[in-house]
Chain A
Amino acid sequence: MVEPVLVWRRLVGAQIRSQYQYRLSFALDLVGNFLISFIDFLAVLVIFHNVHRLGVWTVHEVAFLYAMSSISFALTDLLIGHFDQFPQKLRDGNFDILLVRPRGTLFQVIASDFQMRRLGKAIQGAIILVFALETVHVAWDPGRVAMLVVMVPSAIVIFSSVWVVGGCLAFWTTDGGEFTNAFTYGGNFLAQYPVDIFSSWLRRFLCYLVPLAFVCYFPALYILDKPDPLGLPRLLQFTSPLVAAAGAVVAGATWRFAVRHYRSAGG
């Protein structure tokens, strides 16, 4: 278990050092990523310029959801965002190279690219989290602090699982990579808002089947001590880590199934 982590650190460390060589370019990228991710939050503020509450949620509570989803998604993007370019490897036949190396293929794809500039988005999320925690009322106790700490890694695993399962589609439709965007970028968009405002069919599909409600909504209900407007069992508010673990298992199985069906394009 330790060895892959060491290999990953060496591979990623080398990439970070190389990106740091072009300092101005790197700084501009970081700032740019920071800027563009503010658009989504500006949209939240503009919406709340028109209403005091979205459903039963105040702007501070939505800012909390927004910040937690953004931080988790930005870190997921940092870890495996280059999965978007992975179909290219299938198209040009370079996936063959991964198959003959003595490491797992999923591990190799994950370690193949690491863009530090994506950290800009996480910084933006962190700033909004500070704003949200300053203004929202939470009766902090050990349970709530623990939930806040567990939320981010669970969300990262959920988002990553969605990304990997979506990426597997590329094994069958080589130029259909954009399908995944609906669940990754779309998933982040959805998780930034309270899921009770969506209609029930969309919730069934995008909040429970694709378990995006477990990214922010359920844990946030517990932290904010809000009665669930959907009236679902309170137990669900504690299950995000379990859902994340299940997601990882499904993602791993889907990946192995997809790789077995890989047909090289030559090259």
Chain B
Amino acid sequence: MRLDWEIAKRGWRRYAAYPWATVAGVFTNTVFGFIQAYILLAVYRHRTDVGGYDASDTLTYVWLAQALIMTVYIFGWNELALRIRDGSIATDLARPLDPQRYWLAYDLGRAPYHFIFRGVLPFAVGALVFHLHYPSPQNAAAFVVSVALAVVVSLGYRFLYNSAAFWMVDIRGVMIVALTLSIFLSGMALPLAFFPGWLRDVAHVLPFAAVMQTPIDVWLGKHHGGALAGTLALQLVWALVFLGLGRLALRAGSRKLVIQGG
């Protein structure tokens, strides 16, 4: 546990080391937030409700999504794949801590940094300009839990597609397919509420929604009581499924791993 804590601190510090990158990122997320907010507002000129979302719900969604992009790291990650390709994974496997646990601890240190420094400011700018919805204290607490689970689901998923590198030299193809699925079906590109009914139902049962749509719905208070507990439990299930699959991939991969030279 103490080791995990130390690794998590490294995860935080690595991103805290580049303050200008953080400022630039906040600016970019804010600009994208405005563009998307006005596009979706144009939809509400013709109607007052889209899939159970009123205009304020949608605006809140847009700004929360921009705030969470970095926290849940949806735009791809290939550090594990690079370590497999260049053979550094051999060193990782020799350590008394397995790589999956290492990256999970590291990511749980990184995520709070991005949540605070990349998330709060864009959302605050959006809140100054638009009328947004705010959660009740219970929903706010559930939101934090849900975001934490979303980070674990995301890391589990990223670890899984990265481990494709055990079997192929270049995983760019795998990665881009993995990203396409997660960006569109998580609700990152658009709230799932805008999707046609059948596609929305499909997207809600797939694991990708647990990364973006679920935490935001929790903030918006779309789930109550038992349903809320059920939603969080489903996120937990997806987290465990991805971590389990990643573990299997790691075991199978390290059995066939050949390190060239050294």
For A174-194 the 0/1 string (1 means CB < 8 A from B) is: 111111011100100110010
How far apart are A171's CB and chain B's nearest CB, in angstroms?
A: 13
Contact between chains at A51 and B177 (CB < 8 Å): no
Known: A55-B45, A176-B20, A197-B38. A43 touches B31 (CB 8 A): no
Knowing A47-B190, A176-B24, the reply to whether A36 touches B180 (Cβ < 8 A) is: yes
Q: How large is the interface on B (under 10, 10 to 19, 20 to 34, 35 or more residues)?
A: 35 or more
B196 and A181 contacting across the interface, CB-CB below 8 Å: no
| B34 at the A interface (CB under 8 A) | yes
Which residues of B lie under 8 Å from residue A55 when comparing CB positions? Answer: 42, 45
Q: Is the CB of A181 within 8 A of B28?
A: yes
- In the complex, whether A21 has a CB less than 8 A from a CB of chain B is no
Please provide the chain B residues from 19 to 78 with a CB less than 8 Å away from any CB of chain A in the complex.
20-21, 23-25, 27-28, 30-32, 34-36, 38-43, 45-47, 50
- Cβ of B251 within 8 Å of any chain A Cβ, yes or no, is no
Q: Which residues of A contact B47 (CB under 8 A)?
A: 50-51
Q: What is the bound-complex CA distance between A99 and B28, given in angstroms?
A: 31
Total contacts A to B, CB within 8 angstroms?
114
- Docked Cα-Cα span, A25 to B40, in Å, equals 37
Chain A residues whose CB sits within 8 angstroms of the CB of B173 once the complex forms: 25, 28-29, 31-32
The interface on chain A, measured as residues whose beta carbon lies within 8 A of the other chain's beta carbons, has a size of 42
| CB pairs A–B below 8 angstroms (25 shown) | A28-B173, A36-B176, A36-B179, A36-B180, A39-B189, A40-B189, A42-B189, A47-B39, A49-B195, A49-B196, A173-B20, A175-B18, A176-B23, A177-B21, A177-B24, A178-B21, A178-B25, A178-B27, A179-B24, A182-B28, A182-B30, A186-B32, A189-B36, A197-B41, A202-B34
The residues of B with any CB-CB pair to A shorter than 8 Å are: 18, 20-21, 23-25, 27-28, 30-32, 34-36, 38-43, 45-47, 50, 169-170, 172-173, 175-177, 179-180, 183-184, 189-190, 194-196
